[in-house]
Amino acid sequence: MIEKRFLIVVDMQKDFIDGSLGTTEAQAIVPAAAARIRECREAGWTVIGTLDTHGENYLDTPEGRKLPVRHCIRGTEGWRLNGDIAREMRGCALVEKPTFGSVRLPGIIEALAGGEKAFAIELLGLCTDICVVSNALLLKAHFPDAAISVNERCCAGVTPEKHRAALETMGSCQIDIV
């Protein structure tokens, strides 16, 4: 029986929603994502958010040379969570990550699980085809026996086609799409 549940809110930051890398699809998921965060918190889930975090030298990094769009620079308005998401996440842990997937996240979940082996992890957020898939696969590799799912109506990809492709990839890796 699963006693402990985690919701991972991936990079619901202004730059990915309506900032330098924003899309209409990302804007469209905000109400559903905020509602899901609220629902999970009310049900007693542990909610953790990730923050894509770069320095002023972003354009000089390997990622910045391949994606030359300044975004999520620590301390800027675009780095902050969307206002609706921030309200629902008040008091929740936030994990900064300098790249697509957080290598710290599995250890944080393991510590919060307190030795419990049967737990569930649900992910939502942005972008399905970059950071959501990266974190989902890292978590699945670290916790192969955990029930891991991605909430597709609370995710958006760089394009609708890439969103669907990422969901298919995660499904192939035994991550449930809900």
Domains by residue range for the chain, with CATH: 4-177 (3.40.50.850)
What's the pTM value of the predicted model, to 2 decimals?
Answer: 0.97
Q: What is the strand order of the sheet 93-97 is part of?
A: 93-97, 46-52, 4-10, 119-126, 147-156, 176-177
How many Cα neighbours within 13 Å face the side chain of 137?
17
Burial of 168 (0-12, 13-18, 19+ CB in 10 A): exposed
CA R_g for the chain:
15
Summarize pLDDT for 12-45 with one digit per residue, the tens.
999 999 999 999 999 999 999 999 999 999 999 9
Of how many residues is the chain composed?
178
Any idea which residue has 């905000």 for tokens?
Answer: 30
The whole-angstrom separation of Cα 27 and Cα 6 is 24
Per residue in 103-146, pLDDT (tens digit) is 999 999 999 999 888 899 999 999 999 999 999 999 999 999 99
